[in-house]
Structure 1
Amino acid sequence: MLSNPPLLPSPDTVPDPYRWLERSDSPRSARWIAEREAEFRSAAATWPLRAALAADIRRLVSATQWSPPRRRGGLLFATRRDDGDEHPRLVVVDPSGRERVLFDPVAHDPGGTTTLDAWEPSPDGSLVAVQTSRGGVERGTLRVLSTATARPVEPAIAGVRYAHVAWLPAHHGPAFYFVRRDDSDGRRGVWLHRVGGGADTLVHPCQAARTVPGVRLRRDRWLLVTESHGTGHSNDLWLADLASAPPEAPVLRPVHVGRDIESEADVGPDGLLYLRTTHGAPLRRICAAAPAEPAPEHWREVVPEDPEAPLDGFAVAGDAAAVEVVYTRTRLGISELRVRSPRTGADRAVPLPGEGMVAQVAAEADGTVHFCYADVATPLTVCELRPDGAVAPWPDAGPLPERPRIERRALSCVSFDGVRVPVTVFAAPGAPPGPTILHAYGGFGRPRQFGFSATVLAWLRAGGRYAVAHVRGGGDRGRAWHLAGAGRHKVRAVRDLVAAADFLVGAGECTRDGLCLSGGSTGGLLVLAAIARRPDLCAAVIASAPLADMVRFQRLGLGSMWTREFGTVTDPDDLAALLDYSPYHRVLRSPPTRYPAVLLTGFDGDTRTDAAHPRKMCAALLERATGPRPVLLRYERGVGHGPRAVTRAIELAADAHAFAAAQTGLSPTRRTPAGTAPTAER
């Protein structure tokens, strides 16, 4: 006789005793949240390093910070944040050097809950499109301001989410393309907006469900439209020549549609289409093609793939006679910046200020190239790549300031299945083994880049160590590394993190009682899943805005967009894999257990991961955790997943790392050696 087949799990039969916490506005939930807030305030008042960390973080973010500039119509546009500013403000600088403020989020909203999400000046510089959002919800408003008066010239466009804006040349009148990403009103796609001209025109409706549209206009002629397919490392790409059709009806020719290719495109001063692409190169290469024959079959390789370092960004600079491709790679968190001639193949490295991160590489119409540089000890700095190959800070204020010395070591551990996982460790020179924060992200194919974090630097200056586990699911070793830790294989990322924690303890870098795991969003999911699997793994966990309930994730925040990353509960095999590592459910299924100390953070304006995740996870841990270690929820209103006012960001960072210090034994008496004092290395 055949035995009964095993019953497959069903989302409707999975126990969920704290579903009522998904509604934060019910009286029951409000009382519960208020209790957690009181518990957090009481605990935070006892953390010895809290005030010192907050003061050091504030000192470290006090320098003036600019965005890369954009020059239009003889004017220079950029954002600027000075010491004491809560948000960057958009400024314009005229040829005489006179600077004016065009938009200040704090003047617009004295409560400080409005953020400047995006901005783009018109080709002649007379107008600027400004996108803002309020309360952290990331669903914003697009306004067109007069550069002369800094006032709106027409009613705002509502319901946009990080809208790309592509202005048309001046002879088309003031007009731009923009994208709507939200499904709420059924208007997702690329639209043409004529300033003061009435209703918008839909020029490209999204072709598939749950795709993210994008639009760019290059060389005042070539319209590039993309649709990204969730997190699956693929997108569709179209090209239109506005010289041969009116802006309201561009003839969009497919470059690649319905193919397993991810590409970002630009048009060079030589008139060629340049593409950073995964086609034939999982870690990406750069190809060129004639716009008349844009399909992959006609592409010519310009920059080959490096099998050890993903190619991240690029810009096409120079002039028609001497085109240069400026591009970046990331090699286990460290950026490389290079310049290649498509004509000769000559390739040279650009000297950088140190070992860190390069981002936002952009070329102006005059061939000037700007990029942002940061490392563990150097705040984000705009740099200019000059024609002679030299790199200088922008605005030109002389050499970069002195910085503390921080040592970086590249290590590795062996995971459960024999795969070697890189681990990077930062410490002040001569700092002995001791309290350590181990960070992981491991999702969406994103590589970890070692830029500036005032919080991390303050932790290192206080005598702690900071480690990063480059687990599968991230993009540190390309697409295959991502897919090896995605979908039904997501548990590999969790087990890689467990292996990294065991390795640090076994190698004498720290003790169990001196180890704190830390992760945000998808990284928050990993650290919670790691202690749900191994409660003895560490002393403490910081999970910021985490995913936690992997049965309900598709119904919360943007979870419906992430089925390529995690799978879907409607597939029984996917659901079984989700239940295997879902932190909320593993804790609920466990007997009373001694877990590490846990700090969860939740933001009521979070439209990405939804604060229901940390609320429900906190309730499950409070039910099952035994022993003296605390389970705390730091709950914040009026903010979301993304940027916030500087003071609020400092308070969040100081709270989280003071918690880690209190749980791992990092005390006010354990300070960094003298070698971490600022030194003139440059």
Structure 2
Amino acid sequence: MKLADVALSSEPVSRTISYPTAHAVDQVDDYFGTRVSDPYRWMEDVDSPEVTDWIERENRLTRSILDNVPGREAMQQRLMDLINFERYTAPVRRGTRYFYWHNTGLQNQNVLYWTEGLEGEPKVLLDPNTLSADGTVAISGLSISDDGLLAAYSIADAGSDWERWHVREVATGEDLPDAVAWSKFSSASWLKDGSGFFYEGYDPPQGEALKEANYFHKIYFHKLGTPQSEDRLVFDRPDDREMNVGAAVTDDGRYLIIFETKGSSPNNQLSIKDLERPDAPAVKIADAADAVYSPIDNDGTRFWIHTTFNAPNGCVVEVDLEHPDREHWKTILSESANHLDSVSMIDDTLIANYLADAQSMIELHTREGDLIERLQLPAIGTAAGFVGKRSETETFYQFTNFTTPATIYRLDMKTRRSTIYRQPKLKFDPAQYETQQIFYTSKDGTRIPMFVSHRKGLELDGTNPTLLYGYGGFNISLRPEFSSANLLWMEMGGVYAQPSLRGGGEYGEAWHQAGTKLTKQNVFDDFIAAAEWLIASKYTSAPKLAISGGSNGGLLVAVCEMQRPELFGAAMAAVGVMDMLRFDKFTIGWAWKTDYGSPSEDEAEFQTIFRYSPLHNLKPGTAYPPTLITTADHDDRVFPAHSFKFAAAMQAAQAGPNPILIRVETRAGHGGGMPLTKRVELIVDQFTFLSQQLEIQSHA
């Protein structure tokens, strides 16, 4: 059964809604002489009985509106049908073994398998579905030792960013006694001989782990067979509490690469330490975080480094540790008009993954930089993977786009031929849909690309329900990717539109910087201009246009509906940063100052932030579009009080019948590791809300 075969709701909520009471307190803060009230400050005590009671009442209200919408059950069943196909990740080789994730279709979490040789019998190594009855315990990190004998893996509970590392023997599937707690924003990197691994973490929190700000990130070394209390502190920055650090061992096992990043900036400092000379100081490649410096591989002291130094779109340079000063650097791949997103080295060949107008373009170069050929991809889409070692002669990658689930390809580096390794069996016909990339003009004249996907034969009569999704921040690029939810939306007769907003990384660091701090308004202007283009081009009309985004994208949605409430028929803001004057007070929020600015420390940045902060720009008596705010009670990335305070304030300000709803998930966090059952429930609630508010008719 397809969703088009059932009747959907065409009746928006029109009754007067009685919202749960949220009392206001007399809290006023002073920012550079500007007095700002914060009447819902009490909601920051997220575990208090009063907040718990308010959440319960809000959830009951939301359920009373969404649960009885006609066609809801059919929508859920069709989404389950679309999700129910086998999914694989590209395999990665360690020693003689290959490792990959697999989902049979409806498993809450992907399962990690390994094989002896590429065609060996698959064996389960890690099944997170066995770790909790409700699927809310997830594997958040994984590192396989160089010989493929051991796996360091981290577990996150209920979507938290906090993780706990364990070590499992691959052959037996048994865990060793080793355990490492209070790790966060961490990887694990093994020594060549598998005797231990480097990881990152913080000191144990002294207060509420969900709320307390995280400072003084550290690199540790854990030796197998020893308690965590004996782990050696390898590197930290006691002089700068906001410095994030990371470590990686080179493939040859000789060097430890040390990264230092400030906040959420992509730029980093870079040092390389010789592990065979523990008393020798690390070689400083970059002692200022003025660009990205990402080592690709090395041949002895000769390192290939992907960098944006003097090249905002990225380039590759060669650095010799014997002569590390910049005057001795040699350019291997020059900067081009396209953003160099990532580089790997397989079979002594540089595989350069470019973003050309937000879609993948793969080039193969010699290690000296000469172009060998451009890889032929099946269509507009995203290619990712290309993992392996310089000495290997094969690699794997996956290709996906808006109508194609991830297909795994094996690339033979000797013949440079790609062959399908694993391809999912589909329960829909991709040929019924089409994607085109258009370009529109933003408020200041900047040319912005946007992907538009829908059923073939769409009539441009202004009546099509349209979902405009955006992010626009933190150097993150939105690419063509498959989503069962988006396919469901297109089956419902909907148009899915995804613009490449400034603030993201689609066109390199200059594009990113054009949507940060004092220029953040550019991001909102880009999104609003996308909406205006879709309406002017007759794809849709304001009453049929919904906007959606999560995290920084939740901020985007909230700001745009504050600035242009008449432009949208519905808005969905997920785990958003809504109180822009206090985002830096909780967990890792302080790290976002590199993108947003410092509201408490810089007056010009405060004034810019104050002009768009969603919580502070609500105007009582305004008819805002129907809005669904979603968050989770264990979100320790974007503190859930952001959404609580914004929902209470928006409900108080709203004029007219349009509903302002909040949905608070339990035992979930920012979204990472969320079990499939909870993801499906959330999507169905969102689409139920849209079908009701946009008055979507059956497309039978």
TM-score by length of 2: 0.88
Question: In structure 2, what is the equivalent of residue 94 of structure 1?
Answer: 116
Q: Secondary structure of 1:84's partner?
A: coil
Matched residues in 2 for 1:420 and 1:127: separation?
49
Assess, with a 3 A threshold, how the Cα gap between structure 1 residues 396 and 635 changes in structure 2: closer, same or farther. closer
Question: In structure 1, what is the equivalent of residue 290 of structure 2?
Answer: 260
Assess, with a 3 A threshold, how the Cα gap between structure 1 residues 383 and 399 changes in structure 2: closer, same or farther. farther
Question: In structure 2, what is the equivalent of residue 442 of structure 1?
Answer: 472
Assess, with a 3 A threshold, how the Cα gap between structure 1 residues 110 and 363 changes in structure 2: closer, same or farther. same
Instruction: Check conservation: 1:282, 1:479, Cα contact below 8 A.
Output: yes
Post-superposition CA distance 1:267-322 (Å, at most 9, x none): 24586311111012101111222232234332222222222x2111111111xxxx
Q: Secondary structure of 2:387's partner?
A: strand
Post-superposition CA distance 1:533-588 (Å, at most 9, x none): 1111111001011111111111134211111111112222211111100111101x
Alignment of 1:577 onto 2:611: no
Question: In structure 2, what is the equivalent of residue 122 of structure 1?
Answer: 145
Q: Secondary structure of 2:386's partner?
A: strand
Question: In structure 1, what is the equivalent of residue 399 of structure 2?
Answer: 373
Instruction: Check conservation: 2:136, 2:673, Cα contact below 8 A.
Output: no
Matched residues in 2 for 1:405 and 1:188: separation?
50
Match of 1:193 among 206, 218, 222: 222
Question: In structure 2, what is the equivalent of residue 47 of structure 1?
Answer: 69
Alignment of 1:140 onto 2:163: yes
Matched residues in 2 for 1:460 and 1:181: separation?
44
Q: Secondary structure of 2:177's partner?
A: coil
Q: Which stretch shows the higher mean deviation, 558-567 or 391-400?
A: 391-400
* Cα shift at 1:350: 1.0
Structure 2 gap segments, 5+ residues each: 1-28, 207-214
Match of 1:166 among 189, 193, 217: 189
Post-superposition CA distance 1:419-468 (Å, at most 9, x none): 33333211111122411011111111212111111111111122100112
Matched residues in 2 for 1:120 and 1:402: separation?
37
Match of 1:361 among 380, 386, 389: 386
Supply the AA of the counterpart residue of 1:392: T
Q: Secondary structure of 2:384's partner?
A: strand
Post-superposition CA distance 1:327-367 (Å, at most 9, x none): 11112331111111133612311122321112233124523
Instruction: Check conservation: 2:216, 2:243, Cα contact below 8 A.
Output: no
Alignment of 1:240 onto 2:240: no
Matched residues in 2 for 1:147 and 1:564: separation?
41
Supply the AA of the counterpart residue of 1:279: F
Matched residues in 2 for 1:155 and 1:454: separation?
39
Matched residues in 1 for 2:479 and 2:121: separation?
36
Assess, with a 3 A threshold, how the Cα gap between structure 1 residues 665 and 299 changes in structure 2: closer, same or farther. farther
Alignment of 1:635 onto 2:658: no
Match of 2:244 among 209, 212, 230: 212
* Cα shift at 1:392: 2.3
Post-superposition CA distance 1:199-223 (Å, at most 9, x none): 1112221363322222221222222
Q: Matches of residues 528-547 of structure 1 in structure 2 within 5 Å?
A: 528-547=558-577
Question: In structure 2, what is the equivalent of residue 154 of structure 1?
Answer: 177
Matched residues in 2 for 1:187 and 1:259: separation?
17
Match of 1:508 among 538, 548, 556: 538
Supply the AA of the counterpart residue of 2:88: W
Instruction: Check conservation: 1:314, 1:362, Cα contact below 8 A.
Output: no
* Cα shift at 1:609: 0.9
Supply the AA of the counterpart residue of 1:142: W
Matched residues in 1 for 2:428 and 2:192: separation?
40
Post-superposition CA distance 1:103-145 (Å, at most 9, x none): 2112122231111111112222222101111011110100011
Matched residues in 2 for 1:384 and 1:402: separation?
25
Question: In structure 2, what is the equivalent of residue 413 of structure 1?
Answer: 440
Matched residues in 2 for 1:181 and 1:325: separation?
36
Supply the AA of the counterpart residue of 1:94: E
Assess, with a 3 A threshold, how the Cα gap between structure 1 residues 575 and 455 changes in structure 2: closer, same or farther. same
Question: Cα RMSD over matched residues?
Answer: 2.4
TM-score by length of 1: 0.91
Q: Which stretch shows the higher mean deviation, 402-411 or 558-567?
A: 402-411
Instruction: Check conservation: 1:181, 1:212, Cα contact below 8 A.
Output: no
Assess, with a 3 A threshold, how the Cα gap between structure 1 residues 183 and 465 changes in structure 2: closer, same or farther. farther
Q: Matches of residues 386-465 of structure 1 in structure 2 within 5 Å?
A: 386-387=412-413, 388-395=415-422, 403-433=430-460, 434-465=464-495
Alignment of 1:335 onto 2:360: yes
Q: Secondary structure of 1:91's partner?
A: strand
Q: Secondary structure of 1:569's partner?
A: coil
Matched residues in 1 for 2:435 and 2:502: separation?
21
Q: Which stretch shows the higher mean deviation, 440-449 or 263-272?
A: 263-272
Matched residues in 1 for 2:434 and 2:202: separation?
42
Question: In structure 2, what is the equivalent of residue 647 of structure 1?
Answer: 677
Matched residues in 1 for 2:652 and 2:369: separation?
66
Instruction: Check conservation: 2:620, 2:652, Cα contact below 8 A.
Output: no
Q: How many pairs were matched up?
A: 652
Supply the AA of the counterpart residue of 1:609: V
Assess, with a 3 A threshold, how the Cα gap between structure 1 residues 549 and 88 changes in structure 2: closer, same or farther. same
Post-superposition CA distance 1:25-70 (Å, at most 9, x none): 2222122111110111111124345333333332232222223323
Post-superposition CA distance 1:600-622 (Å, at most 9, x none): 10111111111111111111111
Post-superposition CA distance 1:390-431 (Å, at most 9, x none): 222335899999734432222233333233333321111112
Question: In structure 2, what is the equivalent of residue 225 of structure 1?
Answer: 258
| Larger RCO, structure (CA 8 Å, separation 6 or more) | 2
Assess, with a 3 A threshold, how the Cα gap between structure 1 residues 497 and 187 changes in structure 2: closer, same or farther. closer
Alignment of 1:325 onto 2:350: yes
Assess, with a 3 A threshold, how the Cα gap between structure 1 residues 643 and 10 changes in structure 2: closer, same or farther. farther
Structure 1 gap segments, 5+ residues each: 1-6, 672-682
Matched residues in 2 for 1:424 and 1:621: separation?
31
Matched residues in 2 for 1:135 and 1:397: separation?
29
Instruction: Check conservation: 1:256, 1:295, Cα contact below 8 A.
Output: no
Instruction: Check conservation: 1:423, 1:467, Cα contact below 8 A.
Output: yes
Instruction: Check conservation: 2:178, 2:224, Cα contact below 8 A.
Output: no
Matched residues in 2 for 1:557 and 1:42: separation?
33
Question: In structure 1, what is the equivalent of residue 588 of structure 2?
Answer: 558
Match of 2:505 among 455, 460, 475: 475
Instruction: Check conservation: 2:624, 2:654, Cα contact below 8 A.
Output: yes
* Cα shift at 1:83: 1.9
Assess, with a 3 A threshold, how the Cα gap between structure 1 residues 400 and 504 changes in structure 2: closer, same or farther. closer
Match of 2:375 among 325, 347, 350: 350
Alignment of 1:70 onto 2:92: yes
Q: Matches of residues 22-33 of structure 1 in structure 2 within 5 Å?
A: 22-33=44-55
Question: In structure 2, what is the equivalent of residue 676 of structure 1?
Answer: none
Instruction: Check conservation: 2:85, 2:425, Cα contact below 8 A.
Output: no
